[in-house]
A = this chain, B = another copy of it.
Amino acid sequence: MGAREYDVVVIGAGAVGENVADRAAQAGLRVAIVEDELVGGECSYWACMPSKALLRPGAVLRAARAVDGARQAVSGGVDVEAALARRDRITHHNPLTHHHDDRSQVEWLASAGIDLVRGHARLAGRKRVHVTQAHGRSLDLIADEAIAVCTGSRPHVPDILRDIQPWTSSDATTATRAPSSLAIVGGGVVACEMATAFADFGTAVTVIARSGLLGGMEPFAGDAVRDALVARGARVRTGVRVVDAVRSESGASLTLSDGTTLAAEQVLVATGRAPRTDDIGLESVGMTPGSWLEVDDTMLVSGSDWLYAVGDVNGRALLTHQGKYQARAAGDAIAARAHGAPLDLRPFGTHVATSDHRHVPQVTFTDPEVASIGMTAEQAEEAGIRIRVLDYDLGWLAAASTLSDAYRGCARAVVDEDRGILVGATFVGADVGELVHAATIAVVGEVPLARLWHAVPAYPTLSEVWLRWLESYGRP
């Protein structure tokens, strides 16, 4: 059986792989994409989308209860069954067959002129992929120009918890009912979001984190999320780790490092991610299976002139939007190289994912929401930048008083004093998720503070925090 020949072969048809394939195909290259699970990937079915779907009913009811005149029309909490059914609709999940439906994504690939190959892809030496398919069939693909590995990541389950078969994030996001109690091991975004969602569903939640919540973000973010969880009856145990775990009749029993024990019907492990590179044939090209794939800013794997690694798998920034951003740069770089066209590799040039380094936005859909871009104060100081920090209590804004009868929130801007621009911003509070893109444009656009004085925020919106920041900073 002969091999099929393409210009580009993409391994993994999540959002990242789709975008690499799309950019390359738009540039006239012949592209195949290989997927052994669902077209659309982790994010659509098991991560971002179901988690946001689970969180929205609770968030919108909290918002209504916080407004006198609306509060009177709200009684009771989230209808869990309806919320789960809505989650299924949003993620195209059929609760009868327990399958997700990826037809719309498959149709999109066809319309974009990308060949879909179903099966498990493994690299088979330079520019070659071997695909193992159903019913014992297999297929070889040759990539004349490039192969892009877009296989993403999977939850990392610590050895000590493996035997009790805990939930991972995808089990939590696809849950078919709310457990009576849930112990969440980890303090990051997944842990905090799922703690929020299951607390909304009436589950008794305990978060177990080695350090504080939302590490890597400004400290006030994790503090606010912890306080809100506690105020709603969840338990947050920080500074402890799990030292023993056993299955019990009613669920699981965990022993913590401080000697206490904890019983829970279900345990969710959210302690980080590992690259899905252990079974993709890395050994055929002299690389180590299971490792993160180091790349340059065009996503070309170090030492290679044809192998790209895009998205979670390169470990640069494990976020869907950042992976898609890398995919646009990589797809365009692959196309330019294939066509012998010049590449723009300068910072923020066409073919590089410069923003991965210091310009990554993130929105955490907890209560309160946390939205951030760029460097925290600590990160900027570590980078040797002379900074000034601007903090403002969002509750003091006119908009806050109209939004909620008890608005609590805080926003920090980090100014690079030598360059007169923002290098980071963090917003914590209800409805701050859409505030961050303004900061992203200011930081990435390197808009001088003197010019930001002329970017007038509309009254009364939460965006007036920009005015407060600038007034406290003074005219540059």
CB within 8 Å of B: which residues of A? 43, 48-49, 52-53, 56-58, 60-61, 63-64, 66-80, 82-86, 90, 319-322, 324-325, 328, 332, 348, 350, 354-355, 359-363, 371, 398-399, 401-403, 405, 431, 433-438, 440-442, 444-445, 447, 450-464, 466-467, 475
Contacts and interface: CB of A to CB of B under 8 A. Distances in A.
A459 B323 CA distance: 11
Q: Is the interface of A mostly helix, strand, loop or mixed?
A: helix
Contacts of A85: 68-69
A240 to B, nearest CB: 31
Query: What is the copy number of this chain in the assembly?
Result: 2
A215 B466 CA distance: 29
Nearest to A456: B325
Given A68-B83, A350-B475, A450-B350, A52 B441 contact: no
A49 B454 contact: no
Contacts of A53: 401-402
Interface centre among A63, A68, A78 (most CB of B within 10 A): A68
A304 to B, nearest CB: 25
A57 B63 contact: no
Nearest to A78: B69
Contacts of A69: 56-57, 78-80, 82-86
Contacts of A74: 64, 73-74
A458 B445 contact: no
Contact of A321 (B319, B348, B457, B462): B457
Nearest first, the 7 closest Cβ-Cβ pairs linking A and B are: A69-B83, A57-B69, A445-B447, A437-B463, A321-B459, A72-B79, A57-B70
Given A43-B459, A350-B475, A454 B68 contact: no
Contacts of A398: 48-49
A321 B433 contact: no
11 contacts: A49-B401, A60-B63, A63-B63, A64-B74, A69-B84, A321-B458, A362-B458, A435-B437, A437-B455, A438-B438, A444-B447
A188 B169 CA distance: 48
B61 A86 contact: no
A53 B321 CA distance: 35
Given A64-B63, A64-B64, A75-B75, A433 B458 contact: yes
